[in-house]
Amino acid sequence: MPPFAVDASPSDSLSPILLVTALIGAISASLVILGALRAWYVRTIGRRRDRYRRLARLGTGAQVPPFSSVLGEPPAVQYTVEKDDYMVLLDREDPGWDPEKFQTKPVPRDFKVSVFIDRDYYVQAIADDDQTVLAYSVTTRSRRFRPSIRPVPPLSLRQRVLRRRDWMMPRRQPRIVLGRTRFADLDATEPDEFAPPRLRLRLGAHNFDYTETAYYGNPGRYQSFAWSASDVARQGPTGNIAKARTGFPQIDPDEWSRIGSSDEWPDWSDLPELQRFRHDTAITTYTVCDVKLAIENYPLGRFGVGEHEVRTLWRRR
């Protein structure tokens, strides 16, 4: 036998198998450790980032069960409301059909309301009989939790290049951050493009809510949006709503104001306290309405949760 020859034994043929087994065991152990670290991260320092990611995945047209899976827990509150939804008359056989007029008729509809509660936010979803989400609202509960929404998706590189040559493309890409963005931040920066907001302000003995609506057309996927501040969430700067009411017409709280549109409503320049309130008050709730539900037909009296819904569940977990 040569001096450097090694006598192979049957155990040497098993070494590659042992090596692969050990490698698989090490990978499995690493995955378990990484999973535990990720779970710890989501529960602690990465909790808010994880919640931001979850809220960004929400959208109209989905079913209620996927909402539960995205948010990580079932609804804390569920109930059904019935309200007339005004549908456009398209049937020529329908009584009252008039081809010369744009007509609607009230149609009773059941809406299922689901409220999801987290220690940092509330989510309210409104669905139809098929559990399809027609609208949803997100309300912040913490000064440190500030989710954002972009009603108009960011432009691609090609769109940004073409925008320089196409004056009709939208120049401003709004981004609303709850608890930080003021209502006045929604106004156009160019004075010639400014228009008074379409708003609704309600002030009661113990509660209030202030809401403005927006519609961005095709860039906003034909959805309607509502920006609100209310007594439920005081997690941002808030102006004096009692002064904002000064000079404001006494209107039905379920109607929307049309400032400066007729002699019935005051001019925008005649409402300095309301302007100051918009400048001082941060948005704490955003609402997204699908094209299948007009924002005028929103089935609830306010956008987002009401204090009566969550007052017994107010305590943060």
The 3 state secondary structure assigned to 113-136 is EEEEECCCEEEEEEECCCCEEEEE
Rg over CA atoms, the chain:
27
Query: Can you tell me the distance from the alpha carbon of 232 to that of 303, in angstroms, rounded to the nearest whole number?
Result: 11
Residue 64's alpha-carbon distances to 126, 133, 175, 216, 227, in angstroms, are 9, 6, 26, 26, 23
pLDDT tens for 138-174 read: 999 988 899 999 888 776 677 666 665 554 444 556 7
Task: Provide the β-strand partners of residue 225.
Answer: 214, 288
What are the sequence ranges of the domains in the chain?
A: 48-90+104-158+172-313
Q: Is the pLDDT of residue 240 over 70?
A: yes
Of 130-144, 197-211, 290-304, give the lowest mean pLDDT range: 197-211
Q: Give the mean pLDDT of 80-104.
A: 70
Identify the band that residue 289 occupies on the pLDDT scale cut at 50, 70 and 90.
very high
Say yes or no to pLDDT of 32 above 90. Answer: no
* Residue 44 CB-density burial (10 A; 0-12 exposed, 13-18 middle, 19+ buried): exposed
Q: Taking a C-beta distance cutoff of 8 angstroms, is the pair 105, 86 a contact?
A: yes
Decide the pairing of beta strands 121-127 and 104-117: antiparallel
Q: What is d(CA 261, CA 92) in angstroms, rounded to the nearest whole number?
A: 34
Element housing 202 (H / E): strand 199-203
User: Of residues 44 and 121, which shows the higher confidence score?
Assistant: 121
- The SS3 assignment for 26 reads helix
| pLDDT at residue 85 in the model | 81
CA–CA distances in Å: residue 234 to residues 178, 179, 211, 283, 302 = 11, 9, 14, 10, 16
Q: What is the pTM of this model?
A: 0.79
Confidence at 58, pLDDT banded by 50, 70, 90: very high
Asked if 175 and 185 touch (Cβ cutoff 8 Å), the reply is no
Q: What is the dihedral of CA 32, 37, 38, 42, to 10 degrees?
A: 140
The pLDDT value given to residue 314: 60
Residue 288 has pLDDT above 90, yes or no: yes
More confident residue, 229 or 220: 229
Query: Would you state the pLDDT for residue 13?
Result: 52
For residue 34, pLDDT over 50 is answered with yes
20-24, 250-254, 272-276: least confident range? 250-254
> At 193, is the secondary structure helix, strand, or coil?
helix
- State the number of CA atoms in the 13 A half-sphere of 164 facing the CB: 5
- CA-angle at 41, arms to 142 and 310, nearest 5°: 30
The pLDDT of residue 167: 46
CA distance 283 to 227: 6
